[in-house]
């Protein structure tokens, strides 16, 4: 039985075209700056998103960490969502490795941070306080797309209050495809953007941090420090380039599959949050463990949580969505 894995969009296998691109990639030592494929990926993504420079790193976690550490010095502070990946799911790296203090704020229902709350959280210039340096947003945020009008306001706000603005754009392209805009329309509001190639875009590994020449030079030094210099990384960069050229527009299929599953589950009586991109959130409550076991027997892999997240990606089809729906319906009739 083919396994249907809905735990994350990180679980995909490289497509045949991607494998070919990886196999034929030219490579060199990237720590010496001599890997043509890595250099091309960095130049290409910087160009596409409207930045002066970019840096290829193994993971989104490292990319965000380098951004936070490049923007903030020891004893400085970044304002971030309580539920944001950079705050909650990255092992406290900014605090542990960068001595950067997080100031978390509750994320609003639409995935944004309330700029009035951000304003209240900015510390006065007084030696009692850490210096507030950076505002970090996430887009998509748990599958939600931040409105362009909000991004423009956040840009103006950050400028007014002398804050840098970072985007964890692990799923930047999901947001762009959903809005029907070029990703640059989102990226242009930020001082730095981290993009994951290993999520919906389907590459096996890799993220790219984009920013100014000075910021990326600092991040490159920090990358070496945290052990992220990757030598002959060309085949990985080639996978990323292939994804950017061939696997962006198809994200709309993942969104359609998620939308379909969300709608059908709602019709079947489940409490489903509105679906915007490739994530379906269902309130399962204390049934989480039982549902997971039931799904396991049907070769459907789910995370276990009362608020269950299912993520669509290039390795799940509409026919498989129908199998998932059937499993949920059977479970509710048990
Ligand atoms: C929004 C977001 N940011 C960053 C990351 C970190 O990426 P990685 O797993 O490559 O470290 C993830 C991973 O799932 C994520 O969902």
pLDDT 10s digits, 312-326: 999 999 999 999 999
Is ligand 1 within 6 A of the CB of residue 83? no
Tokens of 117: 């709350």
What's the burial of 57, exposed, middle or buried (CB within 10 Å: 0-12/13-18/19+)? Answer: buried
Tens digits of residue pLDDT in 220-261: 999 999 999 999 999 999 999 999 999 999 999 999 999 999
Tens digits of residue pLDDT in 88-97: 999 999 999 9
Residue 13 contacts residue 179 (beta carbons within 8 Å):
no
Q: How far is the CA of 60 from the centre of ligand 1 (A)?
A: 5
Beta strands per DSSP E along 73-112: 76-81, 101-105
pLDDT at 276 over 80: yes
- Mean of pLDDT values over 180-207: 98
Is ligand 1 within 6 A of the CB of residue 303? no
Q: Which residue, 68, 21, 48, is CA-closest to 166? A: 68
pLDDT reported for residue 302: 98
pLDDT tier at 72, thresholds 50, 70, 90: very high
- Mean of pLDDT values over 118-129: 97
Is ligand 1 within 6 A of the CB of residue 76? no
Q: Which atom belonging to ligand 1 lies closest to the Cα atom of 61?
A: 11
Q: Which atom belonging to ligand 1 lies closest to the Cα atom of 140?
A: 1
Is ligand 1 within 6 A of the CB of residue 57? no
Q: Which atom belonging to ligand 1 lies closest to the Cα atom of 141?
A: 1
Q: How far is the CA of 248 from the centre of ligand 1 (A)?
A: 18
In this structure, are strands 192-196 and 164-169 parallel, antiparallel, or unpaired?
A: parallel
pLDDT reported for residue 48: 98
Rounded to two decimals, what is the model's pTM?
0.97
pLDDT reported for residue 33: 97
Measured distance CA(154)–CA(119) in Å, rounded: 11
Q: How far is the CA of 128 from the centre of ligand 1 (A)?
A: 33
Side-chain half-sphere of 250: how many Cα atoms within 13 Å?
Answer: 15
Is ligand 1 within 6 A of the CB of residue 63? no
If you take atom 4 of ligand 1, which residue's CA is the nearest one? 60
Tens digits of residue pLDDT in 6-26: 999 999 999 999 999 999 999
pLDDT reported for residue 308: 98
Q: How far is the CA of 333 from the centre of ligand 1 (A)?
A: 36
pLDDT tier at 113, thresholds 50, 70, 90: very high
In this structure, are strands 279-283 and 307-311 parallel, antiparallel, or unpaired?
A: antiparallel
Measured distance CA(95)–CA(74) in Å, rounded: 9
pLDDT at 275 over 90: yes
pLDDT tier at 1, thresholds 50, 70, 90: confident
Is ligand 1 within 6 A of the CB of residue 60? yes
Q: How far is the CA of 12 from the centre of ligand 1 (A)?
A: 14
pLDDT reported for residue 296: 97
What's the burial of 209, exposed, middle or buried (CB within 10 Å: 0-12/13-18/19+)? Answer: buried
Tens digits of residue pLDDT in 282-309: 999 999 999 999 999 999 999 989 999 9
Among 60, 67, 193, 197, say which to mutate for ligand 1: greatest number of ligand atoms within 8 Å of CB: 60
Tens digits of residue pLDDT in 159-183: 999 999 999 999 999 999 999 999 9
Percent residues over pLDDT 70 in the chain: 100
Among 199, 209, 278, say which to mutate for ligand 1: greatest number of ligand atoms within 8 Å of CB: 199
Residue 198 contacts residue 37 (beta carbons within 8 Å):
no
Percent residues over pLDDT 90 in the chain: 99
Tens digits of residue pLDDT in 23-42: 999 999 999 999 999 999 99
pLDDT reported for residue 167: 99
pLDDT reported for residue 178: 98
pLDDT reported for residue 334: 83
């Amino acid at each position: 039985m083919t396994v249907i894995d809905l735990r994350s969009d990180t679980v995909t296998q490289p497509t045949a075209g991607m494998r070919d691109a990886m196999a034929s990639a030219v490579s060199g030592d990237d720590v010496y700056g001599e890997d043509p494929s890595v250099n091309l990926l960095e130049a290409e993504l910087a160009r596409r998103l409207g930045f002066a420079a970019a840096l290829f790193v193994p993971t989104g976690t490292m990319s965000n960490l380098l951004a936070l550490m490049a923007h903030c010095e020891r004893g400085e502070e970044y304002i971030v969502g309580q539920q944001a990946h950079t705050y909650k799911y990255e092992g406290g790296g900014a605090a542990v490795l960068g001595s950067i203090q997080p100031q978390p704020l509750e994320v609003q229902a639409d995935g944004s941070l309330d700029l009035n709350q951000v304003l209240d959280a900015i510390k006065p210039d007084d030696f009692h306080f850490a210096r507030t340096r950076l505002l970090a947003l996430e887009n998509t945020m748990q599958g939600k797309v931040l409105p362009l009008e909000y991004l423009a306001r956040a840009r103006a706000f950050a400028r007014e209050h002398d804050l840098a603005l970072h985007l964890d754009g692990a799923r930047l392209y999901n947001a762009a495809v959903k809005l029907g805009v070029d990703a640059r329309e989102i990226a242009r509001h930020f001082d730095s953007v981290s993009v994951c190639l290993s999520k919906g875009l389907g590459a096996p590994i890799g993220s790219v941090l984009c920013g100014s020449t000075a910021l990326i030079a600092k991040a490159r030094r920090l990358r070496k420090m945290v052990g992220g210099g990757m030598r002959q990384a060309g085949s990985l960069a080639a996978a990323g380039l292939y994804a950017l050229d061939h696997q962006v527009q198809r994200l709309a299929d993942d969104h359609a599959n998620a939308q379909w599953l969300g709608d059908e589950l709602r019709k079947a009586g489940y409490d489903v949050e509105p679906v915007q991109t490739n994530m379906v959130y269902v309130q399962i409550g204390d049934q989480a463990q039982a549902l997971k076991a039931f799904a396991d027997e049907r070769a459907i892999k789910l995370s276990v949580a009362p608020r269950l997240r299912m993520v669509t990606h290039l390795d799940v089809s509409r026919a498989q969505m129908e199998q998932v729906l059937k499993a949920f319906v059977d479970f509710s009739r048990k």
